[in-house]
Amino acid sequence: MSVTQPDPHEDPWVNLPFQYAKSTLQKLQVGGYVVDRAWVDPSNPRDCTFVLSDSQALVWDEDFGWRTGGFISGRQGERTILADPRQLIGKILPAPAEVLDALRTGKATTPERLRNHGDRDGLDEKLRQF
Model pLDDT for residues 37-93, shown as the tens digit of each residue: 999 987 889 999 999 987 999 999 999 999 999 999 999 888 999 999 999 998 999
pLDDT at 67: 96
Asked, for residue 114, whether it belongs to a domain, the answer is yes
Q: Which residue has the higher pLDDT, 12 or 53?
A: 12
Q: How many domains does the chain have?
A: 1
Identify the CA nearest to 49 among candidates 59, 41, 35. 59
Task: Supply the pTM of this predicted model.
Answer: 0.91
Residue 1: pLDDT above 70? no
Look up the domain containing 99 and give its range: 18-128
> Rounded to an integer, what distance in angstroms lies between the CA atom of residue 11 and that of residue 20?
16
**For residue 7, is it within any domain?**
no
Interior angle at CA 111, CA 70 and CA 120, nearest 5:
120
Domain membership of residue 4 (yes or no) is no
Residue 42 counted as domain residue: yes
| Assigned domain for 68 exists | yes
- Contacts for 19 with CB less than 8 Å, ≥ 6 apart: 127, 130
The answer on pLDDT for 97 being more than 80 is yes
Phi-psi region of 58 (alpha: psi -120 to 50; beta: other; left: phi over 0): beta
In a domain, 38, yes or no: yes
